[in-house]
Amino acid sequence: HYLVGILYGVILVVLAGAGWLAAPTFLPAFILGIVTVGAGWFLLAPGMGAGWAASKLPNPMLVRALNLVSHTVFALGMFSTALAIR
């Protein structure tokens, strides 16, 4: 999971450009954070037998909401790191 997070951070810098590191804003990190939820919903969850977007779990809406919250926190981490290293 850590390696994937690092890879997503690199992807963010590549997509947003080096200028983003000089003057980071939250929106690009947030967009990438939310987009990456798709990997969990459409690759990880089905691969683990939980169905598309956790549809086979007892409370899929709770799982989805927690996924969105956790990936928003991840986005905050990427944004905070960019602020710290500039």
Q: Are 60 and 37 in contact (CB under 8 A)?
A: no
**Cα end-to-end span (Å), the chain:** 25
Q: What local confidence, expressed as pLDDT, does residue 1 receive? A: 84
The residue ranges of every structural domain in the chain are 2-85
Q: What local confidence, expressed as pLDDT, does residue 33 receive? A: 96
User: In which residue ranges of the chain is pLDDT below 50?
Assistant: none
pTM for the full model? 0.91
Q: Which residues contact 68 (CB under 8 A, 6 or more apart)?
A: 34, 37
Written as six digits, the tokens of 43 are 């690759």
Q: Are 32 and 78 in contact (CB under 8 A)?
A: yes
Q: What local confidence, expressed as pLDDT, does residue 39 receive? A: 94
